[in-house]
């Protein structure tokens, strides 16, 4: 009996951690490490697709949150600049 659940679990956790690291520090090295970890996860067992979906969902959520935060900060700067001129 071959046990393939442990490698999938380890590689899935590694993929999630590398995804978090990628959003903290966007570098090509982190992106390549995430791609390798996801590729290995999918190559071990087809149930690795679940972790791929989780990483993709997490990535999209983080991207949307970051763009929303950047827009909010940009509009806050514009408002503070306008308030200086109105006084």
Q: What is the pLDDT of residue 4?
A: 66
CA 69 to chain centre: 16
**Per-residue pLDDT for 83 more than 80?**
no
Number of domains in the chain: 1
Q: Which two tokens stand for residue 83?
A: 């308030």
Cβ-contact 59, 21 below 8 angstroms: no
Cβ-contact 16, 58 below 8 angstroms: yes
pLDDT band with cut points at 50, 70 and 90 for residue 28:
very high
Q: Once rounded to an integer, what is the mean pLDDT over residues 35-41?
A: 93
Comparing CA positions, the residue from 1, 4, 3, 2 lying closest to residue 43 is: 4
Q: What is the pLDDT of residue 62?
A: 86
Q: Once rounded to an integer, what is the mean pLDDT over residues 56-69?
A: 86
Q: What is the pTM of this model?
A: 0.70
Q: Which residue has the higher pLDDT, 78 or 36?
A: 36
Domain that holds residue 79: 5-86
C-alpha torsion angle, residues 4, 6, 10, 16 (rounded to 10): 70
């Amino acid at each position: 009996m071959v046990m393939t659940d442990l490698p999938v679990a380890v590689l899935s956790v590694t993929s999630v951690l590398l995804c978090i690291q990628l959003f903290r520090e966007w570098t090509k090295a982190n992106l390549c490490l995430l791609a390798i970890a996801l590729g290995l996860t999918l190559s071990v067992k087809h149930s690795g697709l679940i972790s791929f979906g989780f990483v993709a969902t997490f990535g999209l959520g983080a991207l949307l949150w970051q763009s929303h935060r950047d827009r909010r900060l940009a509009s806050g700067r514009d408002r503070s600049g306008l308030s200086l001129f109105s006084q």
